[in-house]
């Protein structure tokens, strides 16, 4: 008698530089491709040889922060497969993935993504907030910084005499996305809805008494 087929998960990423996908059987990544120069519209062609006659039990998609065209195309592919397979679709942000996989250490963790206009998106404790270049936030002493925009905050903190720790994480590819999704599923931790978090939107200057704005809500001062 053969054993049950292991749970399978397809991870898709395409909102930044290039695209990637990873297919997992249980905890094992059985196929993965990263194309640093490809566009998200090429995902169906990349997936076709690996998914012929197959289906995944669930799909994880990186929802950003990322570029409009790449995220929109990647989410369209993910939603189409989820509909065709009748499979759940899990959304995770760059910060969700890094926070899930980074070694637990004391101190806050900020995952920073450039907004394309000199400002940044900061993800911390599941919340995402945009800051303009004239209002970069000052992290607490000992903050761990990760992401493609971490150097901006690291330099800003250094000028203010605040010491931070730069982690090696710069971005997220599909293999890390899949690992994080499987870990969060095991731990019964929540996922985000598969809705894009676009970079390049207008940033804001925090008002006195500002607190971080949860993803999906507009920050004070936005039109």
- Domains of the chain with bracketed CATH: 8-94+172-186 (3.30.420.40), 95-166 (no CATH)
Q: In the sheet that 127-131 helps form, which strands lie side by side, from edge to edge? A: 127-131, 120-124, 109-114, 144-146, 165-166
> Rounded to an integer, what distance in angstroms lies between the CA atom of residue 24 and that of residue 11?
8
Picking from 55, 80, 93, 78, the residue whose alpha carbon sits closest to that of residue 169 is 93
What is the distance between the alpha carbons of residues 188 and 182, in angstroms, rounded to a whole number? 10
Question: pTM for the whole thing?
Answer: 0.84
Alpha helices in the chain (DSSP H): 43-51, 68-85, 94-101, 150-159, 174-186
pLDDT of residue 205 exceeding 50, the answer is no
| 100-119 pLDDT per residue, tens | 999 888 789 999 999 888 89
**Cα–Cα distance for residue pair 7/169, rounded to 1 Å:** 28
DSSP H or E run through 117: none
pLDDT at 2: 53
Most confident of 78-87, 126-135, 210-219: 78-87
Split at pLDDT 50, 70, 90, the class of 162 is very high
Give the ranges where 123-168 is alpha helix by DSSP (H).
Answer: 150-159
For residue 159, pLDDT over 60 is answered with yes
Residue 191 has pLDDT above 80, yes or no: yes
C-alpha distances out from residue 208 to 133, 143, 211, Å = 18, 22, 9
Has residue 79 got a pLDDT over 70? yes
């Amino acid at each position: 008698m053969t054993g049950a087929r292991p749970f399978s998960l397809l991870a898709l990423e395409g909102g930044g530089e290039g695209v990637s996908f990873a297919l997992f059987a249980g905890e094992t990544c059985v196929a993965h491709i990263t194309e640093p120069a490809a566009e998200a519209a090429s995902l169906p062609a990349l997936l076709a040889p690996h998914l012929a006659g197959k289906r995944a039990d669930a799909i994880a998609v990186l929802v950003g922060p990322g570029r409009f065209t790449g995220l929109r195309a990647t989410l369209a592919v993910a939603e189409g497969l989820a509909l065709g397979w009748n499979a759940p679709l899990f959304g995770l942000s760059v910060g969700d993935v890094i926070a899930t996989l980074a070694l637990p250490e004391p101190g806050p963790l900020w995952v920073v993504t450039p907004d394309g206009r000199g400002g940044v998106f900061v993800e911390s404790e599941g919340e995402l907030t945009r800051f303009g270049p004239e209002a970069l936030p000052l992290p607490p002493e000992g903050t761990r910084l990760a992401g493609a925009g971490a150097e901006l905050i690291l330099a800003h903190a250094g000028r203010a005499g605040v010491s931070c720790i730069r982690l090696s994480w710069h971005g997220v590819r599909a293999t890390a996305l899949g690992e994080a999704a499987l870990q969060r599923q095991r731990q019964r931790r929540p996922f985000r809805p598969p809705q894009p978090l676009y970079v390049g939107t207008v940033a804001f200057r925090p008002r006195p008494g500002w607190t971080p704005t949860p993803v999906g809500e507009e920050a004070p001062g936005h039109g």
